[in-house]
Structure 1
Amino acid sequence: MRTLVGSARQPTLVHVYTASRTRPLSYDELVEQALSAPLLGWDFSWLRGRTSGGSPSWRYTERASALLSAAPRLLDLDTGGGEVLASLAPLPRHTVAMEAWRPNIAIAAERLRPLNATVLGGTADAIPVSEATFDLVLNRHGALNAAEVARVLTPGGRLLTQQVGTRNDLELNIALGAPLPDPEAWTLAVAVNRLRHYGFHVLDAREEMIDYVFHDIGAVIFHLRAVPWQIPDFDHERYEGPLQSLHERICSQGEFTVRNHRFLIEAVLL
């Protein structure tokens, strides 16, 4: 069996091919696929072909890679399964990756130890290293504690972070009738002010709202499983009615578009 995704102008987006015929996948079949898909590390490859868009105008990995040559001591915060950090190899001779979610630690260690990186468990609010240990801190979609980053960086050290703001994907909350976060709680302006308060000079700061398109309800459910902070009480049974309505909407309109809230900051510790 394989699934194909049609264009936004086609009313039926996902089909299942059998030996004899083609038919649309039902709501229950799409839900079953999404619930059985593994959640390992920070791997969203299951969504390939089921979603589109979501890329900011900048290239985080390109800038991170450029900074590595001048940074013999690197810390990667909330590394997930180490996927993004591994893509930057070769890594500095002293590289530490930190991850807060316990199931990801073993996954990150398996991926990163062959690249000569040490993997630690810990949270952004209590980084388990000494003061002034690193020349560069990378943080892609992880928690950001400005005071802790300032503590572990050497003077002149740099931070590069790509953050998910609180205006992110609010269309999902609205469509499912879920509580809305404060959209102004975590924005570029808030993050920049905190970094400046702790002695950083901001070199680059950008913020964008980017279209991100779901092509079937299974993609929505997988996404909400992978990022549970979007709707903290999400459960496919609790939200079954709104999910079925959204499924019908996707089948009718061909897609469901949300807006990703992203911002990028590069800063140096004075």
Structure 2
Amino acid sequence: MSVNPASGAFEDLVAEGAAVPTEGWDFSWFEGRASEERPSWGYAVSAGRRLARAEAVLDIQTGGGEVLDFALGRAEPARPASAAATEGWPPNVAKATALLGPRGVMVVAAPDDAPLPFADEAFDLVLSRHPVRPYWGEIARVLRPGGTYFAQHVGPASVFELVEYFLGPQSEQVRTARDPGRERADAEAAGLEVAGLRAERLRMEFRDIAAVVHFLRKVVWMVPGFTVEEYRPRLRALHERIEREGPFVAHSTRHLFDVRKPAR
């Protein structure tokens, strides 16, 4: 049974946030406890329109396959002739295989920082939602001439109000990582053409400490090595602040890439 966020004891809320499974990219558990504005471009719906016109598709770092599954549903009855997805975390590989296998998608276990395990020019559409890092050389290699990379990336200093609450002020180098301008330059250096690039900053609210705990367990790169035990004093102080002042407000950053490989 869920504890009432307004009156729940700190220990009960922390235990609840620590017990929720973290596999996949289903964020429905946060409903009523945390919220995040969505980018105006509607990535999954837009990806579905592109899937309806594609022949061979690759989704990089698919997570539990939820976004690709949704996009394929929006593409129906049109379907790409072949579709594949990569994922590096074993629990997500299993979840994505179970979800996407019935749709005819081949899910391949592949480390996020390794070359893509596919032949040159194998795909006319490559998708990715929130890749850890875009490997532009590999993306260019597996795209067919005239093919497209369509992806939503996490932007610089995303949710840093929460990150810096736990870790303290971050360096300018850390704050400006994932800069869309730098990523554009890297894409162009790999021989790709950036047809479109949009960026937005989006409001987030954490309404109880259980949501904070689950978020930091699920999005592990925010506070590397996060454990309840190590950060219990900061968690308790934040719980008291939320109880006293209301939701903890942060901001995520996102940018949308529409990138093409030049035709021969």
TM-score (norm 1): 0.90
Matched, 1:231 2:219: no
For residue 180 of structure 1, give the secondary structure of its aligned residue in structure 2.
coil
Q: CA deviation at 1:178?
A: 4.5
- The residue type paired with residue 128 of structure 2 is N
Q: 3-state SS of the aligned residue for 2:229?
A: coil
Match of 1:140 in 2: 129
Higher helix share: 2
Structure 2, unaligned runs of 5 or more: none
Q: Percentage identity across aligned positions?
A: 36
- Secondary structure, counterpart of 2:228 in structure 1: coil
Q: How far apart, in 2, do the equivalents of 1:52 and 1:113 lie?
A: 31
TM-superposed deviation, 1:3: 4.6
- 1:75 is aligned to 2:64: no
For 1:200 and 1:55, how far apart are their aligned partners in 2?
Answer: 27
Structure 1 position 187, deviation (Å): 1.4
* Equivalent residues in 2 for 1:1-270, closer than 5 Å: 1-3=1-3, 14-15=5-6, 24-89=7-72, 90=76, 91-124=79-112, 125-143=114-132, 144-178=134-168, 180=170, 182-270=174-262
* Equivalent residues of 1:136, 1:158 under 8 A apart: yes
Shift of 1:48: 1.3
Question: In angstroms, what is the RMSD of aligned CA positions?
Answer: 1.4
Aligned residues: 253
Deviation >6 Å, runs of 4+: none
- Code of the aligned partner of 1:140: R
CA contact (8 A) 2:166 2:223 kept: no
CA shift digits 1:118-145 (9 cap, x unpaired): 1101134311011000000000011311
1:190-246 Cα offsets, whole Å, 9 max, x none, are: 111111111111111011111100000110010000011011121111111111111
Q: Deviations over 1:83-130 (max 9, x none)?
A: 011112244120001101111111111111110111101134311011
Structure 1: any 5+ residue segments left out of the alignment? Answer: 5-13, 16-23
